Chains A and B, each alone.
Chain A
Amino acid sequence: MSEQGFWVIFMPSGRRGRFPEGVTLLEAARELGVGIESICSGRLTCGKCKVRVEEGEFAKHGILSTANHLTPMGEEERALLHSLHAEDCRLSCTARVTGDVLIYVPEESRAQKQIIRKAATERIIEIDPALRQYYVVVDEAALGEHRGDWGRLQDALQRAAGLTDLTIDLHALRKLQPALREGKRGVTVVVWNDREVIDVRPGYQEGIYGLAVDIGSTTVAAYLCDLRTGEVLATESAMNPQIIYGEDLMSRISYTMMNEDGVEKMHDAIIKALNKLAAQAAHAATLRARDIHEMVVAGNTTMVHLFLGIDPRELGGAPFALANRDAMDIKARDLGLRLHPAANVHVLPSEAGHVGADNVAVLLAEEPHRQDEIELIVDVGTNAEIVLGNRHWLMSASSPTGPAFEGAQISAGMRAAPGAIERVRIDRATGHATFRVIGDERWSNEWNVHASSHLAGKPEYLAAGICGSGIIEAVAELFLAGILLPDGRFNPAHPTDRLVWEGRRAAYILATPEQTANGQPIYVTQDDVRNIQLAKAALYAGAKVLMKRAGIERVDRIILAGAFGSYIDPLYALVLGLIPDCDPQRIVAVGNAAGDGARIALLNRAKRQEAMALAHSVRYVETAVAQDFQEEFVGALHIPHASDPFPHLADLLPAPAAVADAAPGRRRMRTRTSG
């Protein structure tokens, strides 16, 4: 921003600033802190960042805003906007400023705080933290005796707790003598892992706290725990601020490849966010951040690299080499974390290039290695992590599902934010949909879109798009209603009036214009269905390849981990063929298991050893290069599957007769509608 340049004003936030010619609207928005969705980071594929120029003389702002104050629209931008039915918009990632403009950011383009309940679940954890407090009375110094106060403290700790070979953090050493004076030789000492004295406080003191953190690509969750009781004192979560540099992992790695200061920027962003979360959590528990003596971190491998300030570019391509697979203990202050000045950070170990500490944390929480039953654990995100096994063996894989399940690559896709369609039911006879959006408990058929108040039936939020769970339900319901054929084509023989045909291509009207925020219908297009097929097939095929390696045909239990897993209805996951057949009663969503695992490692140090053992023993299978992956992938493109049986869906799936005309036959002259 400078004295020169042009005014860019964003509405409805009203934020404004002057920018030099040639700056993209997205860059200007970021500079001003205006949140605009962008998934593809300027590669003109997602169309999420669309905004509108408000034309005219805006006296209040002292500017004349016109559409020609942006660089002209390119072919690609025009085509993308056309496909989004948003001809009156511009893509903020590509439109560059050439004059004063007033920009309106439509509801569906605003990056809102996500609603993801990353609450800590109740699990039984044996409390044996790495941090212990000891109250000791230290010998008085005397002439002719030269142990020094640290030597005397070591002797006291050996007498009291049998601790030997201790070291002391410089910060604690600085506090030692004042504490001895103030406490009249009596001090409370915090010892980490029976090895290092990290704090010395005068007199007898109680209370020791730690923070467990799960750094997700989208959401960061922090749990402040009382290390003596294991009680969760506060849970805080926030969006990962790195999202502005790229929605998915690969985009962020790519950002570091393209920008010299990329690692530094993303490292600083996450540290800043963690400092804020720590302060908020401490505040909620009437503590201060400096009362936090240890932090345990889980996260995918890219997040862990960036957290540590390590360039993750090696993870951007095969062979996906980690800088370090093992657990680490580092000083929080070295990372710029504002906790207790001598606090340590324990980073959980990873399994392989793209199966990270978050997955190890899930294993700590779910303990498949203690079960007889064979469990399939699936963590769905842009990259799905899959673990299969029981107490005798464990295998893992990572499947590139792509961002379709997070709403990207879906024409009306959006993240799980207010207004996103999250639940869908389709009437089997009429083919009409009813749905529910995030932020309103009622189904759309209870809405009165013309009412004046919420109580009279006016929806809190009109539909703005479809989020991941919504698109899964929509596709599964379309299939159950016979509107989609098992091969993923829209059924030309279905009588519903909600299919709009353009030649032999169709799109399904999920929400009608009066139900949506922008007054345009929300469609499920043929390409949307194809993208969901690709994503679900990648996940299913990954699981199937592991099952084949293990020589098993079915699993006893399926665990859906991750925030997204909590929102998928297990039945629809089965109908879609996202996961292999299983008793729906035995498919459970466990929420943020990675956060739970981090908490477990915070509260029990033996679990850190267990995590290392797990990380080293899980057999990672690189599914992409597996001989049978393509075959499994292709078979899994069908809904639910081309050949694998789903006996648990027997009563639910449409009768094969309904789709008989789509089946190939032998030696028949067939006629096709056109060539």
Chain B
Amino acid sequence: MSEEIILSELSLEDLYELMKEDLYDGLAEEIEEEVREALARGEAPYDVLTKGLVAGMEIVGNDFRDGILFVPEVLMAAKAMKAGMAILRPLLAETGAEKIGSMVIGTVKGDIHDIGKNLVAMMMEGAGFEVYDLGINNSVENYLEAIEKYKPDILGMSALLTTTMPYMKVVIDALKEKGIRKDIIVLVGGAPLNEAFAEAIEADAYCRDAAVAVETAKKFMQIRKGVKV
């Protein structure tokens, strides 16, 4: 089952296959080597991103959603992804490759819990999104300021406490008041939330976990791009 692998001897197809597997196992150094190898063979940075890293993270996301992988494994995978992205990001900027999307994310005011939110941020990055993480305890002003600054496609809000989740409505109401609610996709998540709550506060969707968040974000981005074209 185990054999030494010489990267330069692999076919391109096997190289991408290996990248997905090493991402699954959270092997950051290997990912770096493989990304460099692919680039050395003349692959476009955007192809390395989508065929290798994003495709690999999709498998991770699916298995996380299905309960086969859990938080530690996903974090390892996300770290490996990050290592690969560090190489690709400047190249992607240079080539002006199409962006998958961008997101501002933060835990709402009064709430200081962020592990779940961090996981969503990493998975979103893993799916190729630009993510601006505002951290914990965010007021309406923080969100609005970040939205103005980064002009994200998506706003993600998280709450772990029953008592802090109503603040999401405060933020959404503020977006409406400023007349920018329709310009942005609002995704919400956190332990005490559910779909009914998301609907009641007029968020675009409730995301049960990080994997669902990525799926939902992609779905909305497709609709958004479809409309824009």
Chain A residues within 8 Å of B, Cβ to Cβ: 40, 43-45, 74-76, 246, 248, 250-251, 253-254, 257, 313, 316-318, 400, 402, 487-489, 503-505, 526-527, 530, 533, 622, 624-625, 629-630, 633-635, 637-638, 642, 664-672, 675
Contacting pair A400 B160 (CB below 8 A): yes
Contacting pair A667 B163 (CB below 8 A): no
Contact partners of B4 in chain A: CB under 8 A: 667
> With contacts A76-B195, A254-B162, A633-B115 known, what are 4 further pairs, Cβ within 8 A?
A257-B163, A530-B67, A666-B27, A667-B5
Tell me, yes or no, whether B148 is within 8 Å of chain A by CB. Answer: no
How many angstroms from the CA of A253 to the CA of B165 in the assembled complex?
A: 12
Q: Which residue of A lies closest to B29 (CB)?
A: A666
4 closest pairs, A vs B, by CB? A317-B110, A316-B163, A526-B67, A668-B2
Knowing A664-B27, A667-B30 are in contact, say whether A504-B2 is a contact too (CB < 8 A): no
Between A and B, 18 residue pairs with Cβ closer than 8 Å are: A43-B192, A44-B196, A45-B194, A74-B196, A250-B161, A251-B162, A253-B162, A317-B164, A317-B167, A488-B70, A629-B115, A635-B72, A637-B71, A637-B72, A667-B4, A668-B1, A669-B1, A670-B25
Tell me, yes or no, whether B118 is within 8 Å of chain A by CB. Answer: yes
Interface size on B, residues (CB 8 A): 45
Q: Which residue of B lies closest to A526 (CB)?
A: B67
The 8 Å CB contact of B30, one of A250, A637, A666, is A666
Contact partners of B109 in chain A: CB under 8 A: 317-318
Contact partners of A317 in chain B: CB under 8 A: 109-111, 161, 163-164, 167
Contacting pair B2 A43 (CB below 8 A): no
Cβ proximity bits B145-187 to A, threshold 8 Å, 1 near / 0 not: 0000000000000001111101100000000000000000000
Task: Report B200 CB to chain A, min CB distance, Å.
Answer: 11
Tell me, yes or no, whether B73 is within 8 Å of chain A by CB. Answer: yes
Interface majority SS on A: helix, strand, loop or mixed? loop
Tell me, yes or no, whether B39 is within 8 Å of chain A by CB. Answer: no
A-B Cβ contacts below 8 A, count: 119
Contacting pair A624 B113 (CB below 8 A): yes
Tell me, yes or no, whether B141 is within 8 Å of chain A by CB. Answer: no
Contact partners of B27 in chain A: CB under 8 A: 664, 666
Contacting pair B137 A250 (CB below 8 A): no
Q: Which residue of B lies closest to A318 (CB)?
A: B112
Contacting pair A489 B136 (CB below 8 A): no
Q: Which residue of A lies closest to B70 (CB)?
A: A488
How many angstroms from the CA of A509 to the CA of B26 in the assembled complex?
A: 32
Which of A246, A533, A672 has the most chain B CB atoms inside 10 A of its CB? Answer: A672
Contact partners of A672 in chain B: CB under 8 A: 21, 24
Task: Report B118 CB to chain A, min CB distance, Å.
Answer: 7
Task: Report A7 CB to chain B, min CB distance, Å.
Answer: 28
Contacting pair A505 B67 (CB below 8 A): yes
Tell me, yes or no, whether B46 is within 8 Å of chain A by CB. Answer: no
Tell me, yes or no, whether B68 is within 8 Å of chain A by CB. Answer: yes
Contacting pair B162 A634 (CB below 8 A): no
The 8 Å CB contact of A622, one of B1, B112, B191, is B112
Contacting pair B68 A504 (CB below 8 A): yes
Cβ proximity bits B43-76 to A, threshold 8 Å, 1 near / 0 not: 0000000000000000100100011101111010
Contacting pair B118 A630 (CB below 8 A): yes
Task: Report A668 CB to chain B, min CB distance, Å.
Answer: 4
Tell me, yes or no, whether B85 is within 8 Å of chain A by CB. Answer: no
How many angstroms from the CA of A45 to the CA of B165 in the assembled complex?
A: 15
How many angstroms from the CA of A44 to the CA of B118 in the assembled complex?
A: 26
Contact partners of B30 in chain A: CB under 8 A: 666-667
Knowing A43-B192, A317-B163, A668-B3 are in contact, say whether A625-B112 is a contact too (CB < 8 A): yes
Contact partners of B59 in chain A: CB under 8 A: 675
How many angstroms from the CA of A637 to the CA of B116 in the assembled complex?
A: 14
Contact partners of B71 in chain A: CB under 8 A: 634, 637
Task: Report B114 CB to chain A, min CB distance, Å.
Answer: 8
Tell me, yes or no, whether B18 is within 8 Å of chain A by CB. Answer: yes
Contacting pair B194 A637 (CB below 8 A): no
Contact partners of B112 in chain A: CB under 8 A: 318, 622, 624-625
